[in-house]
Amino acid sequence: MPNSSLPTDFIPISVSTLIPSQIMDADLYRADESARRLVLYRGSDYPLTIEDLQRLRERGVSRLFIESDRRDDYQQYLRKMVFESDSESSLPVSARTEALGAVVRDILQNAFAGGDANETIQSAHELGTLTANILSEDTFAASDLSRVLSHDYATFTHSANVAFYAGVLAKHLGYSKEDIQQITTGGLIHDLGKLEIDDKILSKPARLDEREFREIKRHPTLGFIQVAERSDVTCGQLMMVYQHHERLDGGGYPVGVTANEIHPWAKICTVVDVFEALTSHRPYRTPMAKARAIELMQRDLGTAFDPEIFACWEEITRNCWHN
C-alpha cells in the first residue's frame, strides 16, 4: 500500500506493467528518497524507454504513481494489453500477467458492486477465457502467480485469487485448456451467493456469532439457486458454487455429501479457497504465512481435502513461495 504520508489524490501503478511500445496518456510520478512526497518522473508526452525501465528496476523501484483522476486511462491501457495481446505478442508474459490481475479485479469489483448475478457471470466467462489463455502458455510459470494476486479483504478480490489459484492447480493436474478456462470461470463465481448476504456480516471486524455464521453458510445454496438453470454454466462450475464448502468426510455444508459425491472441480476449489482465506487479510486477523497455511491444512488431509489434489497444490506452493 502507498505510504500514508503520500498525497491521497494519487494511485500507485506497477512498473512491470509499463511497456515502451504502449502509450498511456498520464504523467508518471515517483516517490522521493524520503518516500514522503511525489515528484514528476515522466510527462505523458515523454515516452518511456527500455533503458528507463531497466534503471528503475536496478534502483528497486517497483511502483510509480499517477493522478487518481487518470485511473480510467490506466485501466484502458491495461485492458489493451490484456485484450489485444496473445501468446504471439511481443509483450512479456510477466507484464501481461500483472495487467490481467488488475483488469480482472477491476471488472469483477464493478460486477459485484452492482449486485447483478447475470453481469457477474457474463464478466466471469470473458475473464476466465483471458486467464486460461495466459495460464496455458508454455512461458507462464506458477511463480508468476504473485503478479496477479491482491490481498485486501473483499469478496471480489477473494474470488479473483481463488480463480487464479484454481486455474494454476488445474493446469498442474493435467486438465485441458478448455477445462482450465471453465474451472477458472467457476472460481470467479464460486462465491456468487454472497451477493445476497448482508455486507455488515461479510466485513464484520470480529469473528461471527452463531446466527451470522448460519447466514454465511447459506451462500453456496443462494449461489446454486442463482445459476442452476443457466445454460451458460456447466455442471462442474455449478458444483464449484454449491460444493466448495463440502468435506470428504461429510462434515461440510450445505448438504454434507461425502467424497465420491463431490465433483472434482469442487475439490480443487475447496483446497484453493481455504488456502486463499488463510493467506489473505481478513477483518479479524492478519494473513498467515503460506508455509504455515499448508501445514495447518495438512491436518485435514483426507477428511476435508482430496489427498492427490492437495499434494499437487503443496508442491506448487513449495516450488513457488518460501514464506
pLDDT in tens, the chain (323 residues): 444 456 678 888 888 778 776 677 889 999 887 767 899 998 888 878 878 888 887 888 888 999 989 888 888 888 777 776 665 556 777 778 888 888 888 888 888 888 888 889 998 998 899 899 888 888 888 877 877 887 777 888 999 999 999 999 999 999 999 999 999 999 999 999 999 999 889 888 888 899 999 999 999 999 999 999 999 999 999 999 999 999 999 999 999 999 999 999 999 999 999 999 999 987 778 899 999 999 999 999 999 999 999 999 999 998 876 55
For 296, phi then psi, to 5°, come to: -65, -40
What's the CA gap between 124 and 145, in Å, rounded? 19
Q: Report helix, strand or coil for 155.
A: helix
* Cβ atoms of residues 164 and 313 within 8 Å: no
Cβ-proximal residues to 274 (8 Å cutoff; 6+ apart), any chain: 297, 304, 305
What's the CA gap between 166 and 191, in Å, rounded? 14
Q: What burial class does residue 55 get, using C-beta atoms within 10 Å of its C-beta: 0-12 exposed, 13-18 middle, 19+ buried?
A: exposed
User: What pLDDT, on a 0 to 100 scale, did the predictor assign at position 237?
Assistant: 98
Cell of 310: 492437495
Residues in the chain, how many? 323
Cell of 164: 487464479
Of 155, 183, 112, nearest to 276 by C-alpha is 155
Cell of 233: 454454466
* Cβ atoms of residues 13 and 2 within 8 Å: no
User: What pLDDT, on a 0 to 100 scale, did the predictor assign at position 169?
Assistant: 97
C-beta atoms surrounding 13 within 10 Å: 23
C-beta atoms surrounding 101 within 10 Å: 25
Alpha carbon of 22 to those of 35, 61, 65, 91, 100: distances in Å?
28, 20, 17, 10, 15
* Cβ atoms of residues 49 and 20 within 8 Å: yes
Integer Rg of the chain from CA: 20
What's the CA gap between 67 and 76, in Å, rounded? 15
Active site residues: 194
* Predicted structure pTM score: 0.82
